[in-house]
Chain A
Amino acid sequence: MKPAASEKKEGEGPVAEPLLEVVDLHVHFARGKSVVRAVDGVSFRVMPGETVGIVGESGSGKSMTGLAILRLLPPPGKIAKGSIRFKGRDLAALPERDMRKLRGKEITMVLQDPQSSLNPLFTVGSQVREAYALHGRKEEGALRDQVIRALESVRIPDAARRLRQYPHQLSGGMKQRVVSAISMAGRPDLLIADEPTTALDATTQLQYLELLKELKDRHGMSIIFITHDLGLVARVCDRVAVMYAGEIVETAETGKLFARPAHPYTEALLLSVPRLEEKVDRLYSIPGRAPSRVDDSLTGCRFAARCPHAAEACTREKPELAEVDGGHFARCRFPRRA
Chain B
Amino acid sequence: MWRSPVVVITSSILVLIFLISLAAPLLIPHDPLTPNLQMRLLPPAWMKGGDPSHPLGTDHLGRDVLSWLIMGTRTSFLLSVGIILLAAVIGTALGIVSGYFGGAAEAVIMRLVDFFKAFPLILFALMMAVILGQGILVIVLIVTLHVWANYARMARGETLRVKTAEFVDVARMLGVSRLRIMWRHILPNVVTPLVVLATLSVGKCILFLSTLSFLGIGLPTSTPDWGIMIGIGRDYLSTAWWIALFPSAAITVVILCFNLLGDKLTEYINPDLRHEI
Contact = CB atoms under 8 A, between A and B. Distances in A.
A119 B173 CA distance: 14
Contact of A135 (B170, B174, B188): B174
B19 interface: no
A100 B175 contact: yes
Contacts of A183: 173-174
Interface in B137-179: 165-167, 169-170, 172-177
A89 interface: no
A217 to B, nearest CB: 23
B174 A131 contact: yes
B94 to A, nearest CB: 21
B166 A116 contact: yes
B170 A111 contact: yes
Contacts of B177: 100
- Most chain B beta-carbon contacts within 10 A, residue among A102, A119, A120, A127: A119
B223 interface: no
Given A113-B166, A116-B166, A168-B275, A72 B189 contact: no
Contacts, number: 65
Interface of B is mostly: helix
A108 B172 contact: no
A116 to B, nearest CB: 4
A118 interface: yes
A102 B102 CA distance: 25
B271 interface: yes
Interface string B251-277: 000000000000000000001000100
B275 A108 contact: no
A121 B255 CA distance: 31
A101 interface: yes
B175 A117 contact: no
A103 B165 CA distance: 19
A134 B173 contact: no
Interface of B: 102, 165-167, 169-170, 172-177, 184-185, 188-189, 271, 275
22 contacts: A100-B177, A102-B175, A105-B175, A108-B173, A108-B174, A109-B173, A111-B169, A112-B166, A116-B165, A117-B167, A117-B169, A117-B170, A119-B189, A120-B167, A120-B271, A130-B174, A130-B176, A135-B174, A135-B175, A179-B170, A182-B174, A185-B174
